[in-house]
Amino acid sequence: MTEKLELLEEHRSFDGVQRKYRHYSTVLGCDMTFSLFLPNKEEFETPPLVWWLSGLTCTDDNFTHKAGAQKKAGELGLALLMPDTSPRGDGVADSEDWDLGQGAGFYLNATQEPWVRNFRMYDYIVTELTGIVRDTFGLTGPESIMGHSMGGHGALVIGLRNPGRFRSISAFAPIVNPMEVPWGVKAFDAYLGADRESWSEWDATKLLAEHDGSTQTPILMDQGTGDSFYDGQLQPEKLVDIATEKSYPLTLRMQDGFDHSYYFIASFIDQHLEFHQKYL
């Protein structure tokens, strides 16, 4: 158990520094890691913060190593924060299935056994990790949030559930309606139980449909037409239809031939960072 924040790695990256930390999470009841990119502190003393939430099976390393975001973030003066995707460790509940358990936290607060003790990724991100980066690194300025696939779901849900906190939201190939697709149904049934009414607070389509319009956070979504999960798991048009009905500022860009991989993310990450910088 790591009581204090422990620096695991530090690398100069373009005009900034890329770090990886470990700490004990009281919310999740286990050690957790997160990665943090900070732009040149002499030029950007208190940079705006962009959160990145990764997808199924990923850790905080996937985006850090594969997305190629550090150069543009350094140029724009943006800090990037990458949490892990779930609690982990020998004492943490898990499944033999790759899309459930460790690596598949779905950015919610579980209510069912054996998940309820550790799987509270929503509270971890919104409260505990937020407090750490504000208190330790002074990242108290404006924030935006983005993510991929399961992490796109997380970015949309966290952004919509916290109106006014995030200046903008973006997502690559997000799961927009988890209540109605196999990945989401499997996870929600395990983590939240059979009462489907309780699922709606973790579903972006339900949250946007019930949004009162008082705070409208701009949303950008990119979806590859070559994504094998597009029809069965993602279905971004469902969220677009609701946004259109409510005159909500959401843009969906269909990217011809791109799949679900980090090659897709790396191809458009600079544009997403520029999108966020406009509002930060």
Q: Which residues are catalytic?
A: 149, 227, 260
| Inter-residue contact 102 to 32 (CB < 8 Å) | no
Distances (CA, A) of 132 to 58, 103, 124, 126, 238: 22, 22, 10, 11, 35
Distances (CA, A) of 189 to 101, 119, 185, 198, 251: 12, 14, 6, 10, 30
| Inter-residue contact 107 to 157 (CB < 8 Å) | yes
Q: What's the CA gap between 279 and 250, in Å, rounded?
A: 14
Q: What's the CA gap between 11 and 190, in Å, rounded?
A: 39
Helix (H) or strand (E) holding 109: none
Find, among 34, 94, 81, 40, the residue nearest to 60 by Cα: 34
Helix (H) or strand (E) holding 110: none
Reading the block at residue 50, the tokens are 């962009």
End-to-end C-alpha distance for the chain, whole angstroms: 36
Q: What's the CA gap between 37 and 24, in Å, rounded?
A: 20
- Contacts (Cβ under 8 Å, ≥6 apart) of 9: 18, 19, 20
